[in-house]
Every structure is written in C-alpha cells, then in structure tokens.
Amino acid sequence: MVKDIDNCSAEQAQQRLNSLIKPQGSLGRLETIAIWLAGIKGNPVPQIGKKVVLIMAADHGVAREGITAFPPQAGNLMIKNFLHQGAAVNVLANYNKTRFVLVDVGLSGEAVSHPDLFVRRIRAGTRNICREEAMTRREAIAALELGIEIINKEIDAGATIVAIGELGIGNTAVSSAILACLSGRDIREITGRGTGLDDCALTRKQQVIAQALEVNRPNLIDPVDILSRVGGLEIGALTGVIVGSAARSIPVVLDGFVSSIAAWLACRMNPQCRSYLLASHLSEEPGHRIVLEELKLEPLLDFGLRIGEGTGAVLVFPLIESAVKIINEMATMDEVGIKLLN
C-alpha cells in the first residue's frame, strides 16, 4: 500500500521556508525539493541519511537485431568495469558517499562472481521481441518482486533515499517499445539514437520496434502484460524498486529514459507512486521528455547526458542535500529580529 504524502508537513515546510532570511521563493527549486521531502518524510524539517544508488543489469535478445553500437555480450564487460570502480556512476557515488548496489537480474553468458555483485538472474536475458514475447508473465512478476525485495533490504539497512539506474544493451529500444504502448505516440517520434546510431541504424531500430509491437500486441491497459511482451528484466526490477520504495515512504531519484519508463509503469500500477519521484535530468533520448511530461515531472538538470547507469541520478544528490541544509539550518526572520514592512 502506498500512502498519500503528508500535506500538513509539506505546508509547514513551506511556512518555514517563507520565514527564512531571504525573499520568499528566492531559492527556487531548492525550496520545492525541501517541501517534497517534507511531505514524503512527514517532517517539516526533513533529514536525509544513508543514500543508495541501485543498478539493475540485464541483457535483451533484441540487441541481436543490430540496433545498438555495442555487441550483446558487452553487458558482462561493463559489469566488470563497475566492479572495478571504473564507471562514471562509481566516481560520483564515491564522491557523494553513496552506497552502490549492483544486481544481475538477467544478464546472459557466464555469471560474474564478485562479492559486490548480487546475481539474481530470473532468466539469462530476454527473448528477441521481434519474434516472440520478451518473457513470460510469471518472469515479469518475478522481476517486479525482486525489485521490491532488494529495496526493502536496503531500507531495512538504513537507506533514506534511493537513486536508480540500469545497464542493458538494447534497452533504449525496449523502452521506446514500452513508451509506444503507454503513450500511443508514433515510433519515429519517440525513438532515439541510444549509444550513438547513425541514420541508417536508427531507421532499422524504428523498424525493429514496430515489428516487435506487431508480433506481440501487448494489452495496452495492463502494465505487466506490456512489460512481459516487449519489456526488460531490469526495467521490471526497477519498477518494483519504485513501488517498494513508495510503499515505505522512501523518495526515488530517477536517472534517464529507461528508469523513467520504469517509473511510468509503476505509476500505471499505483498512481500514488508519482508523489515519491524526482527527475534528476533530461537526457538526449527524445522519448525521455515525453515520459517526464506525461508524469508531470520537471527535471533538475539538462546537461546533455545520455550515459544511463544512474549517473544523472547520483549527480543531483548534492542538490537534494543542499535543500535539506537550507530548511534545517538557515536562520528565520524572527530569530534575528527582522520585521517585514507591510
């Protein structure tokens, strides 16, 4: 069950911000973030403690259709880079003192053995959605349940806010397929270049997505059916993370296109999840803007990022913590004896 946010605490946070030594509203989005956190935490002076970035990794059978600049087997190599602290998100997580959690929910090939990798494969990659459904409904539900399980363990261990990210060769194509189902938009409008496709490869990607939708014909009012027919295991797991976080009143910081697609699926399952989401940035993928507009989420940054992997989500943690510092530590007008003129 996902609770409504505490509007009373949010209103009290607004009143406190208005009483601080500054023109009302002059700190802009920092004030909005503080009010958002107050409503989630049920505390007009919210606190942020342990931070977690949770990365779900899986492979996609559709990557064999030549729609990505990377070979399908690149996932395992990228996992090893994560585990050697070589990715951008590793650097930012370390800098921001953020716990890094990496889960193999559905990579293919031989599993990597490492103490910092949770291997929880539901299947060894999805099937090729050009020819058949990505996974069974049971497997899709298992991915959702895994996400809920993982985030509950992190919350039980002290997590107070979670950033989400993903790793999956071909997952922008899969995300565009899901977006076509959720939005009804034209495939050419919502499909981007992913890892840097040229015009010919982009056209091929659009054709592959159209074929996948024709072959699988998802039930457009059933988010689990959409996920199972044209989705990905990492997207399902991230959807579960969002639902599980909202049920525990934990704020979720979204990364780019793929994690935002998971957010829309979560909101289709339970619209109250929307109140627990923060969009970190606007990516270069054209579909990302559409998803955020549909969710009525305004991104904090527009840095031209298109790397995924939770990078943008972790990047905004200092902004979130700054908002918390402002509402907790700035002096009020009364504390210094200032009276405003009427």
List active site positions: 309
Going from the C-alpha of 160 to that of each of 2, 56, 247, 269, 319, the distances in angstroms are 16, 19, 13, 23, 16
Residue with tokens 């559905």: 106
Token pair belonging to 5: 């946010």
| DSSP assignments along 193-223, one per residue | -TTT--HHHHHHHHHHHHHHHHHH---TT-H
Rounded Cα distance between 224 and 111, Å, is 27
- CA dihedral 36→37→40→44, nearest 10 degrees, is -100
| DSSP assignments along 7-62, one per residue | HHHHHHHHHHHHHBSS-TTTTTHHHHHHHHHHHHHT-SS----EEEEEEEEE--GG
Q: Which helix (H) or strand (E) holds 247?
A: helix 233-247
For residue 190, give every residue at least 6 positions away whose Cβ sits within 8 Å of its Cβ, in sequence order, or none: 176, 179, 180, 183, 286, 287, 290
Composition of the chain by helix, strand, coil, percent to 5: 50, 10, 35
3-class DSSP assignment, residue 115 = coil
Pairing status of strand 159-167 against strand 277-279: unpaired
Strand ranges inside the chain, DSSP E = 50-58, 99-106, 117-119, 159-167, 252-254, 277-279
Residue with tokens 């690149």: 74
